[in-house]
Amino acid sequence: MSYQDKYQKWATDLFFDEQTREELQNIKNNEKEIEDRFYKELEFGTAGLRGIMGAGTNRMNKYTVGKATQGLANFIKKEKGEQKGVAISYDSRNNSRYFSEIAALVLNANGIKTYVFENIAPVPELSYSVRKLKCIAGIMITASHNISQYNGYKVYAEDGAQITAPIDKQIMTEVKKIQNYEEIKNISKEEAVEKGLYNTIGKEIEDSYIEEIKKQLQNKEVIQKQANLSIVYTPLHGAGNVPVQRVLKEIGFTNVHIVKEQEQPDGNFPTVEYPNPEDKKAFTLALELAKKVNAEIVLATDPDSDRLGVYVKQKNEYIGLTGNMSALLILEYILSQKKEKNMLPENGAIIKSVVSSTMVEPIAKHYRVQLFEVLTGFKYIGEKIKEFEENKKYNFIFGYEESYGCLAGDYARDKDGVAAVALLCEAAAYYKEKGISLWEQMLNLYEKYGYYKEGVKQITLEGIDGAEKIKTTMENLRKNPPKEIGGYVVKKIRDYQTQTIINVETNESEKITLPVSNVLYYELEEDGWVAVRPSGTEPKIKYYIGVKGTSLEDAKERLEKIQKSI
């Protein structure tokens, strides 16, 4: 069926509701828009769905959400997991609550019990609830940090991590089997409640989740001494507002200032172009408030509150920390405190993604903990934690990825911006008690482990043409591998798609044991590296860069040189 045929069916068939048909009739003369909405199905990928909201097969709407959920339901029924149930959460995005209801009722119509959050909640709380309630799966309705037109649908396995192989492929197969939207089962909410299939999650889960975060703290007593640490926080109109304010208050911080213009949930994100704490513009209002209240640390979480962005005060300026920097500050703090108290676990383990800072290598060596590397995506960190849990060989301490996400402790299986706030504020209080700022502690890390610096260059390429351009770029890099990047000689090329590492000088190859992924990684001379991959959540190709310099200034110059060449 051509995209035009699909369009005509959606625009005229009475199976589709009046609002859908009307929306599509309004674009009848816009060929490009029709093509973009119907040239493909919104793909159920390795973590679920993500796309622009609207009518069409390539959009997030009640029909595409229903189809994904029916496929998930068919998988759950094959696994005999109906009574274990599915936990469902949602963030502040437009239609998030609506899509969560659609998902719940499709599952209920298939005889599957659901536990739906009463209010918006962050990703890590959903991950925790799957484990706490012993569910067979979880669903989070969110598009994370994407712009307001987007929404998404993440699926979690019963260990609380986003689905990985082989479960992801099994669910995808079930979704693809559904050829007609008429196959989606439904039930009224009243009937589902009456049958005991539709259940709500309330304060009890939140209370338990907050207690787990508190267990990750290392020096609760230091907070009492530095309770007046001046903190500015913005939830960027997202789900972090309530849990972050609550945890900071309960652990003892008394001088917390909230960016009022961004406090309330709002899926239109009216004060930011892009609700992403990686974006400097997202901190505009927070930094204005920070200057007024003389804040020592400025924090922002994204709409589903799994990512944390940070600015720290040093003298009269605010310095932005990358996701690598904030994660490594937290990691060093945790490891140093555990070592001081003789509480470092035997066979302790740290997990990083392949595109994250290599500064963690000397840190792991210093504290004699094992370092593991996984593919990009926190689900792979979650998968590794599960492996440790099952084989008992390692004790998980910390996992992080460069994209502003980390996890301390194994109570959840996804990155936790709420816990990161608590830990970083505790670390700030600890170092303040010692007479230094967080930035001064970062400088201490550079002096101790080396002047590592990282950056990301990303190019947005939207639509059909953009997807083709991204594909061609990766193909060209494989056909014509660079001999140098930014003046630095390429020593080895890791191709995670062919699962090989090629030594450029000797042409010898070795096998990569990680799963297949469309990632190229170039090891450069003088401890530099560049990795290239298409984004899994946005229409972008991303270039990750890492260098090690002889000083901060030297590292900055090296990084800029490589960025310019890209």
CA–CA gap between residue 378 and residue 415 (Å, rounded): 7
Where are the extended beta strands (E) located within 226-343?
A: 231-234, 256-258, 297-301, 308-314, 317-321
Phi, psi of 283 (to 5 degrees): -95, 5
CA–CA gap between residue 452 and residue 401 (Å, rounded): 15
| Cα 334–Cα 421–Cα 344 angle in degrees, nearest 5 | 10
Phi, psi of 545 (to 5 degrees): -130, 140
CA–CA gap between residue 427 and residue 330 (Å, rounded): 7
CB of 324 closer than 8 Å to CB of 357? yes
How many residues belong to the chain? 566
Phi, psi of 143 (to 5 degrees): -115, 25
From the list 89, 96, 127, 144, the catalytic residue is 144
**What 3-state class would DSSP assign to 233?**
strand
CB of 359 closer than 8 Å to CB of 444? no
Measured CA to CA in angstroms, residue 58 lies from 41, 185, 188 at distances of: 5, 21, 27
Name the helix (H) or strand (E) containing 455: strand 451-460
- Looking at residue 148, the DSSP 8-state letter turns out to be T
CA–CA gap between residue 471 and residue 262 (Å, rounded): 38
Strand 198-201's sheet: what is its strand order? 48-52, 150-157, 137-141, 86-90, 114-117, 198-201
- Non-local (6+) Cβ contacts of 382 within 8 A are 127, 159, 160, 161, 162, 164, 413, 414
**What 3-state class would DSSP assign to 123?**
helix
Any idea of the CA torsion for 415, 310, 284, 280, to the nearest 10 degrees? -80
- Whether 100 is a known active-site residue: answer no
Q: Which of 473, 529, 476 is nearest to 501 (CA)?
A: 529
Measured CA to CA in angstroms, residue 437 lies from 215, 225, 232, 313, 329 at distances of: 24, 15, 16, 8, 12
CB of 343 closer than 8 Å to CB of 315? no
Scanning 195-273, the segments in alpha helix (DSSP H) are 203-214, 220-225, 241-251
Measured CA to CA in angstroms, residue 22 lies from 13, 29, 67, 184, 187 at distances of: 11, 13, 21, 22, 25
Structure tokens given for 122: 């962050």
CB of 528 closer than 8 Å to CB of 554? no
Q: SS3 sequence, 81-99?
A: CCCCCEEEEECCCCCHHHH
Q: Which residues are catalytic?
A: 144
